[in-house]
Amino acid sequence: PLDADIHQALWLSYNEIMQRKSDFRSPLVKDCLDDYLAGKRYSLDILRN
């Protein structure tokens, strides 16, 4: 695996995800999910390296 801390992939509802908030690596996980559910979308052109 690319990340040793990832043990499996799950399909979860929003409520199921929120029940696992203690497993989040960062508070940004919730922020990004909420943004997506609110319809916020950005072009990949905004990313640079």
Domain borders along the chain are 1-49
In this predicted model, what pLDDT tens digit does every residue of 20-38 receive, in sequence order? Answer: 999 898 999 999 999 999 9
How confident is the model at residue 1, as a pLDDT? 56
Provide DSSP, 1-49.
Answer: ---TT--------HHHHHTTGGG-SSTHHHHHHHHHHTT----GGG---
pTM: 0.69
User: What's the gap between Cα 8 and its chain centre?
Assistant: 15
